[in-house]
Chain A
Amino acid sequence: GEDVEQSLFLSVREGDSSVINCTYTDSSSTYLYWYKQEPGAGLQLLTYIFSNMDMKQDQRLTVLLNKKDKHLSLRIADTQTGDSAIYFCAESPNNAGNMLTFGGGTRLMVKP
């Protein structure tokens, strides 16, 4: 079955770059996603990448995909205290329903 793994915790200083990593096992993954969750809230879609792409950039966010190693990363440039949250990686297998399989989340703490 599908499995998505993330490290539990990342701490950075305000203004530094953050890199959150994710590995997945399903080679048929079609789309890979990054969501942000703040305490007590639902999930906010940050960005997603199609599996035939290597990189996607959207303002301060850069997604890198290494399909051979099944490794996805999210880089946040100029990290701000408002970026403190839990970040979830998710993959969508190649099926008609597009159900998402999520990792366990990485808690990002940004220190002033």
Chain B
Amino acid sequence: DTGVSQDPRHKITKRGQNVTFRCDPISEHNRLYWYRQTLGQGPEFLTYFQNEAQLEKSRLLSDRFSAERPKGSFSTLEIQRTEQGDSAMYLCASTLQGTYEQYFGPGTRLTVT
């Protein structure tokens, strides 16, 4: 078991560009979560999937953000027309439905210049 992995670890982009991040959960975990963490704050929930279905979205997830999990395994989070306020650490977590331990990946740090 290699744990939750995220790619890339760091991304620097210019304002207005689109970016996409990938998360690979622990292999048997059917729930996958995205959180955002800004500097000096705790993580905030963005969205989660159960298998391939996106079941909940936070109001933090503006229409510039879209997440997918097409085959119920890895997930992608895309941000269109990035803004400086999108600069943050994007964290992915996974769990097995019916259990209560969420395991986090190392995160993708996004810097929008």
Contact = CB atoms under 8 A, between A and B. Distances in A.
B43 A43 contact: yes
Interface in B41-99: 41-45, 48, 55-56, 91, 93, 95
Contact of B100 (A4, A31, A41): A31
Contacts of A41: 106-107
Contacts of A98: 31, 95, 100, 102
A24 interface: no
Interface residues of A, number: 24
B33 interface: yes
Given A99-B45, A102-B44, A45 B33 contact: no
By secondary structure, the A interface counts as: strand
By secondary structure, the B interface counts as: strand
Given A88-B42, A97-B55, A100-B43, A42 B101 contact: no
B56 A48 contact: no
A33 B102 CA distance: 10
Nearest to A4: B42
A101 B105 CA distance: 17
A73 to B, nearest CB: 17
Most chain B CB within 10 A, of A42, A98, A99, is at: A42
Most chain A CB within 10 A, of B42, B91, B105, B106, is at: B42
A92 interface: yes
A99 B100 contact: no
Contacts of B56: 97, 99
A104 B100 contact: no
Interface in A16-65: 31, 33, 35, 40-45, 48, 50
A57 B55 CA distance: 34
19 contacts: A4-B42, A40-B109, A42-B4, A42-B6, A42-B91, A42-B105, A42-B106, A42-B107, A43-B93, A43-B104, A45-B102, A88-B43, A98-B100, A100-B33, A100-B45, A101-B45, A102-B42, A104-B40, A104-B41
